[in-house]
Amino acid sequence: MKARKNIMPQAGRLTRRAFLAGGGAMLPAPAVLGQADPYYLQLGEYLDASHAADAEARLRQSGFNAYTVPHGASTLVLLGPYADRAAAASAAAELRASTGLNGMIVHSPRP
């Protein structure tokens, strides 16, 4: 079985959804966090972008900073960024406690 690569969004770029909507917030720049490679929680990968948007909306209604990022033919649902793995793990525990969802901690590649 071939291993999948986790390709995370580059900071400072608009998400596809925000671009198509005519604006929106840009992905947070890692420099704001004081490190080059922040961590994220990946909550899902959807072939249907509308399903990803629904998941994003439900997470935002629950108080989480969720957003979508195009990833080839699919769309990722992410939370973050987090300055370190411990912060991402803490957010994952909070997510699990409040929603029952499990997020996968991923690390962004260097640009």
Where do the domains of the chain lie? 35-107
Q: 32: how many CB neighbours lie within 10 A of its CB? A: 11
The answer to whether the CB of 14 falls within 8 A of the CB of 59 is no
> Does CATH number 3.30.70.1070 belong to domain 35-107?
yes
* C-alpha closest to that of 41 among 108, 105, 107, 109: 105
Reported as a single tens digit per residue, the pLDDT across 10-66 is 444 444 444 344 333 444 444 444 556 789 999 999 999 999 999 999 999 988 889
Residue 30 to residue 12: CA distance in whole angstroms = 9
pLDDT of 36:
63
Tell me the pLDDT band of 107, cut-offs 50, 70 and 90. Answer: confident
